[in-house]
Amino acid sequence: MSVLVVTEHLQGTVRDVTRELVTAGRPLGPVAVAVIARDPGPLAAAVDVEGVEEIVTVAAGADEFEGDTYQQALEALIESRRPRVVLLGFTVNAMSYAAAVAAKLGLGYASDVHGVALEGDAVIATRSFYAGKVSAELEFPGAETVLLLLRPTTWPPAEGTGGAAVSSLAVEVAPPRARHVEFTEPAATGDVDITQADVLLSIGRGIGDADAIAQFEGLAAKMGATLSVSRPIVDAGWMPASRQVGQSGKTVKPKVYLAFGISGAVQHLAGMKASGTIVAVNTDPEASIFGVAHYGAVVDLFDVAEELEKLY
């Protein structure tokens, strides 16, 4: 029962999720970590953490991620090592090639997995459906290898040093059909830095329409809080991206996070679940946000806002 973890790296740095995958993989069997990069050497040193038995480098492709290169490298790794379980982070990069590998090789597959277990020889993955309101156990009948994309920040990252043996696998890769050109940062708008705020008043799609923005900006100012938002508010063009909390926005850790009309999608939670005190106001008693909130109220956010106005 062997486990293969694929390293995720960006601009020369191994991302935290890789060490989380090592922690998740250890109970399943001996863990090997693959490093796919033009120059994998320096990255291999960074994944030599406790619990890693072996590191396999594949020197291929460009410095930065390209899905076709990763696909060909991972297919070669799977064919040569025949792991029982392959673990990747549920990240934008993994979304770009993992399912292609599974479709091609006929692997078992699941994304956004937040629990993995072995029952005898069978791999059982736990994940959520229906906006996090329901969990499910998945089985993978007949699959020799199961490829799982694990939800980031679910397992603690492996620490320490491992002293793993390092080997390399030679893989010929064809030129990629989708090629990295450059990175661009989201435009800085000179707006406030929400990561520095002690108190965030955070509003989501529950506010209904653009007219409510001014009201909540006013309320936040009165309360000494900073206004932040979920993604749909930015998508609609009502607030700049610099105010967005979550996976594709900012990771925040204020003393108090007030979530008004935010359902608690996994990508939103990724950006705020480490906040000191989380208070959720939502008319849906089953909203996922109540799963991470310390305090909650099932009540109309506008009614609470009106009462707050009176108190400040």
Question: Where in 216-275 is the site for another protein (CB under 8 A)?
Answer: 223-225, 231-232, 234-237, 241, 244, 247-251, 255-256, 258, 266
Backbone angles phi, psi at 190, to 5 degrees: 70, 15
To ligand FAD, the closest distance from the beta carbon of 179 in angstroms equals 21
- Smallest gap, in angstroms, from Cβ of residue 23 to another protein? 20
In eight-state DSSP terms, residue 188 is: P
Query: Does residue number 186 form part of the binding site for ligand FAD (CB under 6 A)?
Result: no
Q: Residue 102's beta-bridge partner residues?
A: none
- Report the residue from 22, 77, 147, 265 that binds ligand FAD according to the rule CB under 6 A: 265
- Which parts of 98-137 interact with ligand FAD (CB under 6 A)? none
92 touches 149 (CB < 8 A): no
Q: Give how far the C-alpha of residue 180 lies from the chain's centroid of Cα atoms, to the nearest Å.
A: 21
Residue 283 backbone class (left: φ over 0; alpha: ψ -120 to 50; beta: rest): alpha
Tell which positions 73-92 bind another protein, by CB under 8 A: 90-92
Is 219 an interacting residue with respect to ligand FAD (CB under 6 A)? no
Total site size for ligand FAD, rule CB under 6 A: 28
- Residue 270 Cβ vs another protein, minimum distance, rounded to whole Å: 9
Q: Which of 108, 162, 206, 261 binds another protein (CB under 8 A)?
A: 108
Distance, CA of 287 to CA of 290 (rounded, Å)? 6
Token pair belonging to 203: 């509003």
* Rounded distance between C-alpha atoms, residue 14 and residue 47, angstroms: 8
CB of 18 to another protein, least distance (A): 13
Q: Name 14's bridge partners.
A: 9
- Least distance (Å) from ligand FAD to the CB of residue 284? 4
